Amino acid sequence: MKIALLTHRRSLKCASVASALAARGIRIALIICEQPQVAPAGARLRALMLERGPGALADKLRARLGLPRDAAPQASAPSDRALDAASCGAQHGIALLDLPDLTSSASLERLRAEAIDLMIHAGAGILRAPLLAVPRLGVLNAHMGVLPRYRGMNVAEWAAWEGGPLGATVHWIDPGIDTGRIIRIAPVAGRGLGSVASLRAAVDAAQIDALAEVVEAIVASGQPPTAAPQARADGRQYFTMHPQIAELLEQRLAQSQ
């Protein structure tokens, strides 16, 4: 089965997914990197916060000043999760395909020529219907929230803020935002999560593990797994959590210990 990851050059999720699949003996044939035009600095910062959460700005400032991250473990070698897409491909021996976009006729024709069976969203942007129709089985995504209730951004934080269920969801991508058919939900226990960082780490680990299990089952059977459709009215879409709310959530999580 030919499997490809959809990502961009700076994404760190690609390495997490590739490592989890490699640990199960699953071979990735291709990493597809979209290289959109460089956005203005403000837009790049907003995108960074959407991808990595409210702590992204502080991390970026520490990196510019050459300061270590708070409570960052001292490691003798960089973690797989610190690798960008190109480094991940080199480490795992996966071919890298750079495309200027994932929407043009030329890019879609190039991807059709690869005869890909399964694509996995691993840090790319919003995917359009023509791309979703390219792989034989479809495009998988691992989402850091329990669908359909929590769609959109910072959903692990919003679930903790509201006292809702914590967990991750593996689903097929459709043209909507987190509205595709649900394959698996991986619950996450709320106990012992004393910070936003630990909350996100726990949900991230759950989503990567659940995704790897689903892909392993697909590879073994050669068939798509059973999936339940969502009703759009069953959930709501969340947006980036304001830093002040994130700070209050941080305090609440710390006090819960």
Domain of residue 165, residue span: 3-68+80-255
pLDDT for residue 61: 58
73 domain-assigned: no
Rg (CA), the chain: 18
235 domain-assigned: yes
Give the integer Cα–Cα distance in Å for 67 and 60: 10
What's this model's pTM, rounded to 2 decimal places?
Answer: 0.83
pLDDT averages per 10-residue partition of the chain, 257 residues: 94 93 97 75 62 57 54 40 82 94 96 98 95 98 98 98 98 96 97 95 98 98 96 92 96 92
75 domain-assigned: no
Q: Which tens digit of pLDDT belongs to each residue from 12-49?
A: 899 999 999 999 999 999 999 998 655 566 666 666 65
Q: What is the CATH number of the domain that holds 35?
A: 3.40.50.170
74 domain-assigned: no
pLDDT for residue 232: 85
Helix (H, G, I), strand (E, B) or coil at 95: strand
| Distances in whole angstroms, Cα of residue 80 to Cα of each of 6, 11, 14 | 17, 12, 9
218 domain-assigned: yes
pLDDT for residue 9: 84
pLDDT for residue 228: 98
Strand (E) positions, 156-207? 167-172, 182-187
Tally the residues of the chain.
Answer: 257
Number of domains in the chain: 1
139 domain-assigned: yes
Helix (H, G, I), strand (E, B) or coil at 40: coil
